[in-house]
């Protein structure tokens, strides 16, 4: 019987959210995965993409570690050894679906956790500029910087999460070089040590209200003040599709990708991008082929956006139960 050595590695992974069902929590994983000491950095829900997710697990290794009697032990070898090792990115990418790819790998120590060893996470949220006031959104977003209680900007999990303070270290809004039918694609970048459940999508939802002129910039200060606002107003999160986990940062973790794997990866991603651009071209052709509007309709639609529903100010809306009320309800069930 052939004895295979194993080593603990971190993998940098990308996936396209529209066909990906998200990363489950470790507690939900299959027992065979738990035995591989699996951990993942960011919990991304169904529909959310990533170009920098990191997972860690035991994988088979080409390297053989021997004990003092020169017998193969199957234990871990020095982390720095990579010569002669399996090209993990190449092997995994051969069998993964087209919208999931391993971007690189790194040997890590046995006490490494993709979740708890992470120093910082960065998210990007893409959106069409339209008539949004980017200056107001940027001024509002800067108020997130520093350490705050974000319980009014998340989906509260009072059963498992008791500390809602998180630190945001970077916030910026930028324009990309992509446009569609004259519309400019922009991105919100948010970086922090850790994030709450749906935190980024809740932050973006309120920023969009500010950008539309429906809320004032000062509403951020009021929602961050849990003494004044202990209960979260009810509002819908921003959609999941434009959100990506951009990067996860670790100390002394350097991801490796062989030149052959890197070249194959770039060709694959470029081809995937071209395929989606072809689909975009088809939709553009369909838009051009639409029947012209009747004259009376064109007079009514003079470029202004008709409001579907009137906006109810956030601070005038019904609220969700506070953390304390949720805890009291949970305790009463015991």
Q: Can you read off the two tokens belonging to residue 98? A: 């087209």
3-class SS string, the chain:
CCCCEEEEEEEEEEECHHHCCCCCCHHHCCHHHHCCCCEECCCCCCCCEEEEEEEEEEEEECCCCECCCCCECCCCCCCCCCCCCCCHHHHHHHHCCCCEEEEEEEECCCCCCCCCCCCEEEEEEEEECCCCCHHHHHHHHHCCCEEEECHHHCCCCCCCCCCCEEEEEEEEEEEEEEEECCEEEEEEEEEECCCCCCHHHHHHHHHHHHHCCCCCCCHHHHHHCCCCCCCCECCCCCCCCCEEEEEEECCCCCCECCHHHHHHHHHHHHHHHHHHHHHHHHHHHHHHCCCCCCHHHHHHCCCCCCCCCCCCCHHHCCECCCHHHHHHHHHHCC
Residue 92 phi, psi (nearest 5): -70, -40
- What are the catalytic residues? 45
């Amino acid at each position: 019987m052939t004895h295979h050595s194993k080593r603990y590695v971190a993998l940098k992974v990308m996936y396209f959210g529209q066909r990906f069902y998200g990363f489950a929590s470790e507690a939900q994983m299959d027992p065979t995965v738990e035995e591989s000491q699996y951990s993942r950095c960011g919990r991304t829900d169904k529909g959310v993409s990533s170009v920098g997710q990191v997972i860690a697990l035991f994988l088979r290794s080409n390297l053989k570690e021997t004990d003092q009697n020169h017998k193969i032990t199957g234990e871990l070898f020095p982390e720095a050894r990579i010569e002669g090792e399996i090209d993990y990115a190449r092997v995994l990418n051969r069998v993964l679906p087209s919208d999931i790819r391993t971007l690189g790998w790194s040997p890590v120590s046995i006490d490494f956790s993709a979740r708890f060893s992470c120093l910082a996470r960065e998210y990007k949220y893409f959106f069409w500029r339209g008539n949004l006031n980017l200056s107001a959104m940027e001024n509002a977003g800067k108020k997130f910087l520093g350490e705050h209680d974000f319980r009014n900007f998340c989906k509260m999990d009072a059963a498992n999460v008791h500390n809602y303070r998180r630190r945001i270290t970077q916030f910026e809004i930028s324009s990309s070089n992509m446009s569609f039918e004259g519309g400019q694609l922009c991105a919100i970048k948010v970086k922090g040590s850790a994030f709450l459940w749906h935190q980024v999508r809740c932050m973006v939802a309120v920023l969009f209200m500010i950008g539309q002129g429906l809320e004032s910039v000062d509403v951020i200060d009021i929602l961050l003040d849990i003494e004044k606002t202990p209960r979260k107003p009810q509002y819908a999160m921003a959609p999941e599709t434009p959100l990506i986990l951009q990067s996860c940062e670790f100390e002394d973790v350097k991801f490796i990708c062989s030149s052959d794997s890197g070249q194959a990866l770039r060709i694959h991603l470029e081809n995937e991008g071209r395929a989606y651009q072809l689909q975009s071209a088809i939709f553009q052709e369909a838009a051009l082929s639409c029947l012209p509007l009747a004259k009376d309709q064109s007079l009514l639609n003079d470029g202004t956006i008709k409001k579907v529903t009137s906006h109810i100010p956030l601070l005038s809306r019904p609220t969700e139960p506070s953390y304390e009320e949720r805890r009291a309800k949970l305790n009463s069930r015991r």
